[in-house]
Amino acid sequence: MTMENKNTQNLNCGCDPYLLSLVETPQEQQPVAKISNRSTGLLLASITGGAAIALSVVCFPFVAPALRRVVLPYVPASTQQVENVMKALSKSSTGGKKLIDLGSGDGRIVLAAGQRGFQSHGVELNTVLVLYSKLAAWRQRIKNATFSRQDLFKVDYTKYNNIVIFGVEEMMPELEALFEKSLTSSSQVIACRFPLPNWKPSHIIGEGIDTVWVYEV
């Protein structure tokens, strides 16, 4: 039956045309409902996809160190470890006030040294941690604590008197060779948790995982 016949039949039934139009309306609206379901699906898919991409972008800097030749993950120094580094700085015989933290993480060692008057700088591969550290320095108003995104194996150490490293055992021989080549007698190396394999420390502070080895060059 065509629409025209149907309408004619409806009019012939003596029913109120207005009421008839109300009865027919839901059938005419069905395609609109289908379209709106499809758009909701597309919207949900876009939101989920966007969230997955955003999450990957934020997580990538934390996973990237695992793809490098020497894997140095982000493990923040404990409060005791930071205190031990500060003790090492206060005992320093070099008297120099320039410090660099190689792989500065969230910046806690650089910030603590900055608060004690050291011109301190942190180099870190993870962009998110570099931004976080800069923000922390700004919020705590520590102007002499700075940070940059840099590879610790490509830094010029020569202008620093205090070189702090919280690394992993596998990277210490390579670092020791680098220090041997570039450091002068006005500097000291402070190694956290893992010592340099061949150098003799001038003193050792703390114990267990919080141990700090101090080497006067």
Ligand X SMILES: C[S@@+](CC[C@H](N)C(=O)[O-])C[C@H]1O[C@@H](n2cnc3c(N)ncnc32)[C@H](O)[C@@H]1O
170 sits near ligand X (criterion: CB under 6 A): no
User: Shortest gap between Cβ of 130 and ligand X (angstroms)?
Assistant: 9
Is the CB of 35 or the CB of 75 nearer to ligand X?
Answer: 75
How far is the C-alpha of 121 from the C-alpha of 13, rounded, in Å?
Answer: 90
Q: How many residues bind ligand X (CB under 6 A)?
A: 21
Alpha-carbon dihedral angle through residues 144, 139, 165, 187, given to the nearest 10 degrees: 10
74 sits near ligand X (criterion: CB under 6 A): yes
77 sits near ligand X (criterion: CB under 6 A): yes
Per CB under 6 A, which region of 7-15, 45-53, 119-127, 132-140 contacts ligand X? 119-127
- Member of 120, 126, 133, 211 binding ligand X (CB under 6 A): 126
Exposed, middle or buried by CB within 10 Å (0-12, 13-18, 19+), for 112? Answer: buried
Binding mask 137-156 for ligand X (x = CB under 6 A): --------------xxx---
How far is the C-alpha of 171 from the C-alpha of 41, rounded, in Å?
Answer: 50
84 sits near ligand X (criterion: CB under 6 A): no
Per CB under 6 A, which region of 10-18, 30-38, 71-79, 172-180 contacts ligand X? 71-79
**For residue 60, what are the contacts with CB-CB under 8 A and spacing of at least 6?**
none
DSSP string across 164-215? EE---GGGHHHHHHHHHHH--TT-EEEEESS--SSSPPSEEES-GGG-EEEE
Alpha carbon distances (Å) from 86 to 153, 162, 192: 24, 11, 12
- Member of 84, 98, 100, 104 binding ligand X (CB under 6 A): 104
169 sits near ligand X (criterion: CB under 6 A): no
* Chain residues that interact with ligand X, rule: CB under 6 A: 65, 72, 74-77, 101, 103-105, 108-109, 123-126, 129, 151-153, 166
